[in-house]
Amino acid sequence: MTTNDWDSSYGAGQRPPWDIGRPQPAFVQLAEGGAFTGRVLDAGCGTGEHALLAAASGADVTGVDVSASAIGQAKEKAATRGLNVRFEVGDALNLGQLGATFNASVDSGLFHVFDDDDRVKYVTSLASVIEPGGTCYLMCFSENQPGDFGPRRVTQDELRAAFSDGWTVKDIVPSVFEVNPWPEFPGESAQAWLATLTRR
């Protein structure tokens, strides 16, 4: 999808399937377990629910998304909730543009939108801003999700291969995305992997 495509997903009166108006339960559990402290990056933050979750946990948070519409909505949410989050329009394939480094990052449904070449660019980009010892918490569609509509399915082997250089794959466990139902996709959830990846 192009930048315009992503931007149009957040048009007036629309809510894309992934924008459920609250954090994914898997990330709420991580927050409750103390995962989000220090400087946290939300890459592909959309309208900001996970960035705001981390900020409410006391973290110093930056959210970045290619969609100006999504970032505008995220800023409005932050103001309404009284939370201080830096939201920026930017490219997750060039995170160095942020001019900052982070102890942790959140990826809720970003990795699985990339083709093979952009996966390599994304992991390199992420590595450039996550400090050694820092952790990336990544959730993506898994191959256990039936059908082929929606995001590309990702296998555990693909995740391990993508993060094989300079990262330690601490854990990959089954998880579930909550989604807004839409005509081509049955149900209100999708099978996912939740990966915990540590920067070496």
- From the number of C-beta atoms within 10 Å of its C-beta (0-12, 13-18, 19+), residue 110 rates as buried
- Are 87 and 74 in contact by the 8 Å Cβ rule? The answer is yes
Could you give the dihedral angle defined by the CA atoms of residues 105, 110, 111 and 114, in that order, rounded to the nearest 10 degrees?
A: -140
Look up the pTM and report it: 0.94
User: At a CB cut-off of 8 Å and minimum separation 6, what does 125 contact?
Assistant: 92, 93, 94, 95, 96
Residues 140 and 72: their CA atoms lie apart, in Å, by 24
So what's the pLDDT on residue 12?
64
Residues lower than pLDDT 50 in the chain: none
Q: How far, in whole angstroms, is CA 63 from its chain's centroid?
A: 9
So what's the pLDDT on residue 16?
83
So what's the pLDDT on residue 13?
65
- Are 27 and 191 in contact by the 8 Å Cβ rule? The answer is no
Residue of 194, 193, 112, 176 lying closest to 150 (CA atoms): 112
pLDDT per residue as tens digits for the range 90-105: 999 999 999 999 999 9
For helices 49-56 and 25-32, the axis angle rounded to 10 degrees is 20
Residue of 67, 137, 74 lying closest to 109 (CA atoms): 137
pLDDT per residue as tens digits for the range 90-149: 999 999 999 999 999 999 999 999 999 999 999 999 999 999 999 999 999 999 999 888
The two tokens of residue 124 are 């390199």
So what's the pLDDT on residue 7?
77
So what's the pLDDT on residue 2?
56
So what's the pLDDT on residue 60?
98
